[in-house]
A = this chain, B = another copy of it.
Amino acid sequence: MGTCTMDDDVLMEVTRGDRIESSHRGAVAVIDADGAIVFETGNIDIPVFPRSAVKAIQALPLLETGAADQVGLTDAELALACASHSGEPDHATAAASMLRKAGRDSSCLECGSHWPLGVDAAHALAASGERPSALHNNCSGKHAGFVCTACVIGVDPEGYVGPNHLVMRAVTAALAEVTGTVLDAADHATDGCSIPAYAIPLRSLALGFARFGTGHGFGPARATAAQRIRAAVAAHPFMVAGTGRFDTELMTAFGARAFVKTGAEGVYCAALPDLGLGLAVKCDDGAGRAAQVVTATLVRHFLRPEDEPAASVLDRLARPELRNWNGTRVGEMRGTGPLLQLRDATVRR
């Protein structure tokens, strides 16, 4: 393969037969809620776009404003508000239900439409003769949550994706406070679903998720909101991703012990509440496959599976087999480089 396999920051390699076919570099921060580093590799102080990995933090105002309770969102709907979902029927239905509870419909979603991320869901939609709507957008739950918040605090939802809309200001403030960063409304890019995208160092993202997982450093309202979101996602892991998706499989296996969330372009953020740890991963090349294997490798190191099914799920996610169209095993993906030194990473107790 190419030119980087011996390099220090290669975190994941893809094999074919006995050779390394491709390799992925990146950076990782594992930090406790006091900011103490448990494991790091690569540069964790360069700002990166967390993208959808911070949806759970962006959902805090939905609870802190009382909007979730006032419109009567279920736990499944709370989980959807943190989702990058596959656009399966249950996802689209729940997004529509959230909007209905706010007295609105999908016409006020500003995320845009795309075919369901789930291939089977996309084919089923095509077979039904329907076209995708904004409800199928993987961010529709997050956006429905923004609409619920706007309606309850009494502002027009229109334009909620703008950085200066009252709802988006609350969302950005929550992200800044939880990660301990300054997010300048003038210094943002635009995300796939049109909300502002702010770049944040992995060190701050990991700290934010350590806090999100423990409530450490939060006021009572925020600590309760974070706890409710974690519990809702642990109870409904299907709603945050979908059939066969990494996040759903891992959280189905580990319940409340692991909160993991994918972001586009090779980002993962996670909280391991029992251990008081936050994790943040960025693969330089933006590859989701690499971020998943790295995240599963980290979770496998820090969390002991409680049963055989959980252990086998984690082994499969951390070292996936690659099979071709005839089902023949052609290679695998596996963590490497600095991840092989994880054994030296110890958690302060």
Chain A: residues with CB nearer than 8 A to chain B? 1-4, 9, 14, 16-19, 21-27, 42-43, 46-49, 110-115, 119, 122-124, 126-127, 129, 137, 188-194, 197, 199, 265-266, 282-287, 290, 324-328, 330-331
Determine how close the nearest CB of chain B comes to the CB of A265; give it in whole angstroms. 5
- Check if A330 sits within 8 Å of B192, measured CB to CB: yes
- Check if A324 sits within 8 Å of B19, measured CB to CB: no
Name 6 extra pairs, CB < 8 A, besides A3-B42, A16-B189, A19-B49.
A1-B48, A2-B27, A2-B42, A19-B47, A21-B189, A190-B330
- Check if B197 sits within 8 Å of A17, measured CB to CB: yes
* Cβ-defined partner of A324 (8 Å) among B127, B193, B285, B290: B193
Summarize A's interface: helix, strand, loop or mixed: loop
- Check if B282 sits within 8 Å of A2, measured CB to CB: yes
Q: A112-B324, A127-B126, A330-B189 are in contact. Are A49 and B25 (CB under 8 A)?
A: no
- Check if A284 sits within 8 Å of B192, measured CB to CB: no
Residues of B within 8 A of A115 (CB): 119, 123
Residues of B within 8 A of A326 (CB): 110-112, 194
- Check if A190 sits within 8 Å of B4, measured CB to CB: no
Q: A16-B49, A123-B123 are in contact. Are A22 and B285 (CB under 8 A)?
A: yes
Residues of B within 8 A of A1 (CB): 46, 48-49, 282, 284
- Check if A324 sits within 8 Å of B284, measured CB to CB: no
